[in-house]
Chain A
Amino acid sequence: MTKAIIIDDEPLARGIVKEYLSNHTDMEVVMECGDGFEGIKAIQQHQPDLIFLDIQMPKINGFEMLELIDKPPAVVFTTAFEEYAIKAFESHAIDYLLKPFSKDRFEKAIQKWRQQSRQEREEATQSLINNPTINPSQQNRVVVKDNGKIRIIPVSQIQYLEAADDYVKIHTADGIFLKNKTMGYFEEALEAQNFIRIHRSYIINVQLITRIDPYEKENHLAILSIGAKLPVSKAGYAKLKQVLGI
């Protein structure tokens, strides 16, 4: 039996997916969720083969929910008017249903899903969430897991980011949080928000810089108002000079 989960904050919108799915006797809707938090719990509990996911939902959106799952399942997005996302869906081989969608269109999505291998599906989801421009809220906040709880960090509260193996450490006044993304991802996602990659391992909030001191031969040290002293590489120094106009 194939397990499916429907995640959408509108009950009627979940209903129509459920109704269309009822024709497929080999598929079972194991759970319906009204927001991303329920979605994460349900996915961890049921390990579904396929989820139908809305984008705009309370607190965390569909993309952010996927980011918080260790092994995200195959996804079919159901959304009303997400023009910007559609290109990304197509380039990452992710299927999407534009609301309101017909039964035929729904069947095509199921067909497509059936034809993909398990590996293809998981890769498609993974590559989508690694795209820094897909999430419309990315420039404003970062969603992390903190001891099993979900925490939303407004970008303005991030002091700096530090590389840590497969993770990125997010330093804030409230503590340090881990996110399984690359430095390159954050460098691109936070570009417009006054964040600069000053070093292979550091991205800092430019507004917190109080001083830049020379350090060793060709390097510098950035001193932040919170007391942190971070190394600045040669390339990082050039970027800083450009942004700060020095």
Chain B
Amino acid sequence: MQGSTRTVSRKLKLGIAFGLWWPFWMAMHYSVLNNFGFSFAESFVDSVTSNVLLAGICLLIINNMRYYLPGKEKYWYVLAISLALSIIWLLTTRVVLWACFKQDDAYTQSLTRSSNVRFAFGFLMTGCLTMLSLLWYTQKEQQATDELKREAEKLAKDAELFKLRQQLQPHFLFNSLNSISALAGSQPEKARHMIEQLSDFLRGTIKKEEKQLVSLQEEIKYLELYLDIEKVRFGHRLQTTIEVDEQASGRMIPSLILQPVVENAIKFGLYDTMDDVMITIKANITDQGLKISVSNPFDPFTAASVPGTGFGLASIKRRLYLLYGRNNLVEIQKEATIFNTILIIPSFT
């Protein structure tokens, strides 16, 4: 809406400029002829005829450009059309003016002699106007294509972000269902509880599609649901600690960004080591923004051979890049047998 009103007012301004332009030239034209000693009638009719015709031709050009924009040979086109139209204009004015004042020899003679000047004037006018309207319409066309392109890019970005958020691991889902199936026989109450947790978790996945940003607090709550389910699956082997600074918990972060990182850490920890696995999640504010670190134990000797540890992080990296335009928001640190994944969420405030 805003864009279209702006175009309308711009159009109006240009119209007014065009409307004022011609009376000014008419006055100039009149005063020149009058100074040369031609009568009021001659000077007036000459100036009005010439300029009105020329204005008409210019309008024709502008109108024509609206529907047809020359492509490759635009400069030849401008030259050709202004040459042709200024010749037509010159001939027409001469015929009209000659018909009006054919008795006045001095006038008709000067009409012939001034042909060069008149032609130059007409050619300059039409040439400039053709050029201007060409630029104006080309720019408008460019704006339209740019807008289309921007829209297409935004759509593609949204679709990619959506897909990146959607990466729910089928492994997790089927194994959780299997745990529920096992509990249903021996401990139906626990099975019911786990169904509730799993439902809440899945609902979170769906609901958050609408919102790009959630508070860290909210994301942690969602993460805890996930961790509870994983703890039912893996029993005492999986332990977690969450330490969130008070200032940090209110910060906004992209929704569903934390869970895949933690899922990656859990998988890495559980399958690359034999002992109990401690996953530590810490969040605090630094001068770079909100810093979230997720750590898991790993075996430096065999870590290179664990497949799939890279993918989860690659998609997180991509998401953060799409959202913040920076490539350095995911960092990995290894200290002895601890693997640390660090996310930086820049703040805009």
Q: Which residues of A contact B (CB under 8 A)?
A: 9-13, 15-16, 19, 35, 37, 56-59, 80-81, 98-101, 136-137, 139-141, 152, 154-156
Chain B residues, Cβ within 8 Å of A57? 271
Shortest CB distance A67–B (Å): 15
B307 engages A137 (CB within 8 Å): yes
Report which of B183, B186, B302 forms a contact with A152, defined as CB distance below 8 A: B302
Q: Is the interface of A mostly helix, strand, loop or mixed?
A: loop
Shortest CB distance A13–B (Å): 6
B305 engages A152 (CB within 8 Å): yes
B175 engages A80 (CB within 8 Å): yes
A9 engages B234 (CB within 8 Å): yes
Chain A residues, Cβ within 8 Å of B271? 56-59
Indicate whether B177 reaches chain A with its CB closer than 8 angstroms. Answer: yes
Q: How far is the CA of A57 from the CA of B270 in the complex (A)?
A: 8
Indicate whether B56 reaches chain A with its CB closer than 8 angstroms. Answer: no
Q: How far is the CA of A37 from the CA of B274 in the complex (A)?
A: 10
Q: Is the interface of B mostly helix, strand, loop or mixed?
A: helix
A12 engages B305 (CB within 8 Å): no
Interface centre among A11, A137, A139, A141 (most CB of B within 10 A): A11
Indicate whether B178 reaches chain A with its CB closer than 8 angstroms. Answer: yes
Q: Which residues of B contact A (CB under 8 A)?
A: 170-171, 174-175, 177-183, 185-186, 232-235, 237, 270-274, 301-302, 304-307
A10 engages B179 (CB within 8 Å): yes
Given A15-B182, A154-B302, A99-B177 contact (CB < 8 Å): yes
Q: How far is the CA of A135 from the CA of B177 in the complex (A)?
A: 25
Shortest CB distance A189–B (Å): 13
B175 engages A58 (CB within 8 Å): no
Shortest CB distance A100–B (Å): 4
A154 engages B171 (CB within 8 Å): no
A100 engages B180 (CB within 8 Å): yes
Chain B residues, Cβ within 8 Å of A99? 174-175, 177-178
Q: How far is the CA of A136 from the CA of B308 in the complex (A)?
A: 10
A16 engages B185 (CB within 8 Å): yes
Chain B residues, Cβ within 8 Å of A136? 307
Chain A residues, Cβ within 8 Å of B185? 16, 19
Q: How far is the CA of A57 from the CA of B175 in the complex (A)?
A: 13
Chain A residues, Cβ within 8 Å of B174? 80-81, 98-100
5 contacts between A and B (CB under 8 A): A9-B270, A10-B175, A12-B179, A13-B179, A58-B271
Chain B residues, Cβ within 8 Å of A10? 175, 178-179, 233-235
Given A152-B305, A154-B304, A12-B170 contact (CB < 8 Å): no
What is the chain A residue whose CB lies nearest that of B236? Answer: A11
B178 engages A59 (CB within 8 Å): no
Ranked 8 nearest A-B pairs via Cβ: A141-B305, A99-B178, A80-B174, A16-B182, A12-B182, A100-B178, A100-B181, A140-B305
What is the chain B residue whose CB lies nearest that of A82? Answer: B171
Given A100-B177, A152-B302, A11-B235 contact (CB < 8 Å): yes
Chain B residues, Cβ within 8 Å of A101? 178
Q: How far is the CA of A19 from the CA of B271 in the complex (A)?
A: 26
Interface centre among A98, A154, A156 (most CB of B within 10 A): A154
Q: How far is the CA of A16 from the CA of B249 in the complex (A)?
A: 40
